[in-house]
């Protein structure tokens, strides 16, 4: 964590009680009322408590004069480099073949630019490859071998295709496949959105995706409009959860569309989930969560289950908040992949 001066405070406005997490971070227990969810930019918001140090790195970059894209990239590098994170970067849970395939995307509000990569193996920072796609090619999305060839040609930093710890866990899982046909494995993603003091919006998203997914499977995270969307005129949103339940509905685009219609970002997240649940045969049993910000510095999040936590960082504070959920099913402070 950076040593920037800041006040850490919790959801005092909502009368919630602070709880100490295993990592020593303070977590709010209940959602904060929408009226309290606004601050002066610069503002960085991301998914999960592990987004907090990433936010802080992004804010430090902004304050040192870096661009919005640099801030997103440096922030997400923190999570991608965290060897204890089993959902983002090369420490992520591998696919069914025992290889970690990473997905990422980045968006710049100014110019409405985007870059993305899917199913990339053996590179440390998919967010940087996504940015390189955006800035140096005439394309938006490269996948698989093509994306890896591009990353190699660009000299992007390499790493192992799977960590030793994850390899051992995968071998155990594979052995168990003989007995049980399928096992649900957790997953989390960092989706980060930022509003700069000049009013410009940026976002990024990075994940190893669903644990033990089919090789070649790409989730919502690198798909513009699904795992991330930035509209420089109105707001930005990002998603975490089961990608199949987000990408069929262009989830993040829908959140930003509700912001455009005038909803507070938190209400936009809630309304998106309600709309998806109304259409989906599974109803609210979707395991999806969104974070969002708007041009006015309002921010919020929501999940299908209660207690989805997200990180909010600005000049005044850096904190982890609980979002409202639409069912009582508790997603927990650490989501799918983090050790409980
Ligand atoms: C995916 N949405 O690959 C990602 C995983 C995730 O919380 O965010 N899980 O489907």
Identify whether 290 is part of a domain. Answer: yes
For residue 5, being part of any structural domain is answered with no
State the residue range of the domain holding 293.
46-325
**What's the rounded Cα separation, in Å, for the pair 315 and 44?**
10
pLDDT over threshold 80, residue 218: yes
Q: Is 40 part of a structural domain of the chain? A: no
Lining ligand 1 with CB less than 6 A are 187-189, 207, 209-210, 219-221, 240-243, 335-336
- Which one is catalytic: 47, 79, 189, 334? 189
| Cα–Cα distance for residue pair 336/69, rounded to 1 Å | 28
Tens-place pLDDT, residues 227-245 = 999 999 999 999 999 999 9
Task: Answer yes or no: is pLDDT of 56 > 60.
Answer: yes
Best of 88, 96, 117, 243 for a ligand 1 pocket test (most atoms within 8 Å of beta carbon)? 243
Find the 336 Cα to ligand 1 centroid distance in Å: 9
| Per-residue pLDDT, 45 | 98
Task: Let me know if residue 106 belongs to a domain.
Answer: yes
Looking up tokens 């700069």 gives 196
Name the band, by pLDDT with cuts 50, 70 and 90, for residue 221.
very high
Question: What is the pTM (predicted TM-score) of this model?
Answer: 0.88
- β-bridge pairing 201-207 and 102-108: antiparallel
pLDDT of residue 180: 55
Instruction: Report pLDDT digits (tens) over 105-162.
Output: 999 999 999 999 999 999 999 999 999 999 999 999 999 999 999 999 999 999 877 8
The verdict on residue 81 lying in a domain is: yes
> Closest Cα partner for 143 from 155, 126, 159, 160?
126
Could you give the CA distance from residue 13 to residue 30 in angstroms, rounded to a whole number? 11
Three-state DSSP at 204 gives strand
- How many CA atoms within 13 Å lie on the side-chain side of 17? 1
Residue 17 lies in a domain: no
Nearest-CA residue for atom 5 of ligand 1: 209
For 155, other C-beta atoms within 10 Å of its C-beta total 8
CATH number for the domain including 305?
3.60.20.30
Identify which of 214, 219, 310, 332 to mutate to test ligand 1's pocket (most ligand atoms within 8 A of the CB). 219
The number of folded domains in the chain is: 1
Confidence check: pLDDT of 286 > 90: yes
Q: What phi and psi, each to the nearest 5 degrees, are found at residue 115?
A: -145, 150
Residue 15, in any domain of the structure: no
Residue 35 is assigned to a structural domain of this protein: no
Active-site residue flag, 189: yes
**30 contacts 322 by C-beta, under 8 angstroms:** yes
Which of the pair, 87 or 25, is modelled with greater confidence? 87
Distance of CA 166 to the CA centre of its chain: 21
Burial of residue 241, with CB atoms counted within 10 A of its CB: 0-12 exposed, 13-18 middle, 19 or more buried: buried
């Amino acid at each position: 964590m950076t040593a920037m001066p800041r006040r850490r405070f919790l959801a005092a406005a909502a009368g919630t009680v602070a709880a100490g997490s295993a990592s020593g971070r303070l977590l709010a227990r209940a959602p904060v009322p929408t009226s309290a969810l606004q601050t002066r930019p610069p503002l960085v918001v991301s998914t999960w408590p592990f987004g907090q140090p990433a936010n802080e790195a992004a804010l430090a970059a902004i304050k040192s004069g870096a661009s919005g894209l640099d801030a997103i990239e440096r922030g997400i590098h923190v999570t991608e480099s965290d060897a204890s994170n089993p959902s983002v970067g090369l420490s992520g849970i591998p696919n069914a073949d025992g290889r970690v395939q990473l997905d990422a995307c980045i968006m710049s509000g100014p110019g409405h630019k985007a870059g993305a990569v899917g199913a990339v193996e053996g590179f440390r920072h998919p967010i940087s490859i996504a940015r390189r796609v955006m800035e140096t090619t005439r394309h938006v999305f490269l996948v698989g071998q093509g994306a890896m060839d591009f990353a190699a040609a660009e000299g992007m930093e390499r790493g192992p295709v799977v960590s030793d710890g994850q390899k051992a866990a995968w071998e155990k899982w594979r052995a168990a496949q003989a007995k049980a046909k399928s096992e649900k494995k957790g997953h989390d993603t960092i989706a980060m959105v930022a509003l700069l003091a000049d009013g410009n919006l940026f976002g990024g998203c990075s994940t190893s995706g669903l644990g033990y997914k089919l090789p070649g499977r790409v989730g919502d995270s690198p798909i513009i409009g699904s795992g991330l969307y930035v509209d420089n005129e109105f707001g930005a949103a990002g998603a975490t959860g089961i990608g199949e339940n987000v990408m069929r509905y262009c989830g993040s685009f829908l959140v930003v569309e509700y912001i455009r219609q005038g909803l507070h970002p938190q209400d936009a997240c809630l309304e998106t989930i309600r709309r998806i649940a109304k259409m989906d045969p599974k109803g609210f049993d979707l395991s999806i969560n969104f974070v969002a910000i708007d041009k006015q510095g309002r921010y919020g999040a929501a999940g299908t289950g209660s207690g989805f936590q997200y990180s909010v960082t600005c000049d005044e504070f850096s904190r982890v908040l609980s979002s409202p959920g639409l069912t009582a099913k508790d997603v927990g402070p650490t989501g799918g992949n983090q050790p409980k």
